[in-house]
Amino acid sequence: MKNHSSIRGTIIYTSKKPERMDEERGREYFTLTRQSDDNIVMLAHCEIDDEPDVIRDVAMALDKNSAPLDCSVRLSVGGKFEGTGWMRFTDTYAELETFNQRDGRITQRLELDEPCKWLQSHPIIGDGLLMKLYDLSQGPGKQRVPKALLTSPDHRGASGPQYFKCGFSLVYVGEEEVTVQAGTFQSRHFQVTDTAGELPEEHPPYDVWVTADDDYVVLKAGVAGYMQTHYELTELVRD
């Protein structure tokens, strides 16, 4: 008897720049497995075609609230190996062992004054799980996530992997019905804001629509500003 459930799917990356409107610029294949202990294992293979092209493979385990347990990342940029690494989290520290082209072998241990609530490893499907940090009992509004970690401060996740500290805000807009290539769904609409001063370059406003259930599967997402990128769920299978 199977004691876990799985969600598999594909997300397409497109451009919304006028000169490239709706041009495919990448794709992502993912699996979310909810285990009998309520932990979730996210597997994601991500491809960005824009030069220099990026290929990222992520295996990340999270608890039911999306707090990270462990994560591994392998990254290629411009057709060449960029870095690989492993991360592990406890209530009091986060440790890391990586190797990348810029810095060679890296060992990090960060002492934590509270458990880490989020590790941004850069798959789009992970952006849906991030929204679990918003307390829906408070209704629409803005809530701050002051202490998160990233595997890369680069907006494409094209450096490292290595720990980078960051804070941001989550905005809950409300529920909406949305239609994407994978079908029509009831969704929750969120925004990620307030990254000024937190990253080497401020991230443009980011809107994310997720399934209005406990799975928080990304249905579509979009980044404004200079990026003008769009992400859309094209396939969804629940096992």
User: pLDDT digits over 148-163, tens only?
Assistant: 999 999 989 999 999 9
Distance of CA 167 to the CA centre of its chain: 15
Region 8-30: what's the mean pLDDT?
96
Task: Give the pair of three-digit tokens for residue 191.
Answer: 């925004």
Backbone φ and ψ for 75, nearest 5 degrees, come out as: -135, 130
225 pLDDT tier (thresholds 50, 70, 90): confident
In whole numbers, what is the pLDDT of the chain averaged over residues? Answer: 95
Integer Cα distance of 5 and 147 in angstroms? 30
185 exposure class (CB count in 10 Å sphere: 0-12, 13-18, 19+): buried
Residues spanned by the domain of 19: 5-238
204 pLDDT tier (thresholds 50, 70, 90): confident
Model pLDDT, residue 118: 97
Q: 100-159: per-residue pLDDT in tens? A: 999 999 999 999 999 999 999 999 999 999 999 999 999 999 999 999 999 999 989 999
- Rg for the chain (alpha carbons), in Å? 17
Task: Give the pair of three-digit tokens for residue 66.
Answer: 């999306």
Question: How many domains, in total, are found in the chain?
Answer: 1
| pTM metric for this prediction | 0.95
Q: 76-94: per-residue pLDDT in tens? A: 999 999 999 999 999 999 9
**Residue 14, beta-bridge partner list:** 24, 230
Model pLDDT, residue 173: 98
Classify the C-alpha dihedral 122-193-40-187 as positive or negative: negative
CATH code of 221's domain: 2.50.20
Integer Cα distance of 60 and 69 in angstroms? 8
pLDDT greater than 80 at residue 95:
yes
Region 48-67: what's the mean pLDDT?
97
- SS3 assignment, position 115: coil
Longest dimension (CA), the chain: 52
Q: Considering only CA atoms, which of 111, 108, 120 is closest in space to residue 90? A: 111
Model pLDDT, residue 200: 67
Integer Cα distance of 200 and 203 in angstroms? 9
